[in-house]
């Protein structure tokens, strides 16, 4: 019914993710690594926002944030998250769910150093997610931070780091004509010491 190939159930989910991300990088006009990140409070009240994926390998999927932001607080209190990538140009999406763990200090330092100087200064000046009486207040704080550090090194603030989502489930979704979509989910095996994956094709 369609010349779109079906999702390969024999594929390694991390390799398939890398392939789809590489294809999205060629077709998406902006931020192919953009993803919705859903967190929840201990009593299950959810919140979601768009972030940028900053690392992906067999250990999991990494993003960075102010640890005192709403998502930072929720992840400390309820260390689980869900991610959603949607690539409209390819008519594809990937859903990822699992517990989160903090990245190492070395990883956080390396990524922080790679950011633009203004972004690093902004991370220090911003009380992310907290009330701001006036935009001018933030701009004045940024100016103060700029004057403090001048042209010197900018240390990573203690309240800025990253999280790694360790996937327990990765679902791939491919649009097909007439809403007869192709879906497949990889779930991490929980049998003994087996660290493999169980894979199942899903009804659209």
Binding-site residues for FMN, in ranges, read: 49-54, 64-65, 70-71, 93, 128-129, 173, 183
Q: Which of 92, 95, 156, 179 is catalytic?
A: 179
- The long-range contacts involving 116-122, CB below 8 angstroms and separated by at least 24 positions, are 117/154, 120/154, 120/156, 121/145, 121/146, 121/149, 121/154
* 92 noted as active-site residue: no
Look-up of token digits 């940028």: 52
Please spell the DSSP secondary structure of 167-178, one letter per residue: -SEEEEEE--GG
Nearest 10 degrees: Cα torsion 114, 118, 119, 121:
100
Largest CA distance in the chain: 64
| Residues involved in catalysis | 179
């Amino acid at each position: 019914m369609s010349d779109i190939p079906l999702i390969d159930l024999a594929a390694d989910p991390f390799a398939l993710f890398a392939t789809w991300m590489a294809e999205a990088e060629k077709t998406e006009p902006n931020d192919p690594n953009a993803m919705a990140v859903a967190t929840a409070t201990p009593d299950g009240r959810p919140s979601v926002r768009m972030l940028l994926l900053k690392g992906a390998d067999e250990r999991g999927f990494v993003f960075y944030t102010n640890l005192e932001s709403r998502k930072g607080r929720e992840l400390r209190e309820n260390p689980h998250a869900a991610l959603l990538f949607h690539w409209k140009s390819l008519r594809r999406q990937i859903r990822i769910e699992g517990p989160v763990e903090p990245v190492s200090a070395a990883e956080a330092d390396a990524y922080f150093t790679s950011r633009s100087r203004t972004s690093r200064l902004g991370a220090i000046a911003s009380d992310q997610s907290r009330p701001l009486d006036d935009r001018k207040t933030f701009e004045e704080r940024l100016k103060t931070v700029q004057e403090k550090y001048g042209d010197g090194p900018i240390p990573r603030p203690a309240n800025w780091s990253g999280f790694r989502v360790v996937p327990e489930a990765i679902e791939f979704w491919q649009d097909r004509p007439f809403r007869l979509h192709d879906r497949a989910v990889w779930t991490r095996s929980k049998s003994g010491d087996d660290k493999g994956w169980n894979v199942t094709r899903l009804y659209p």
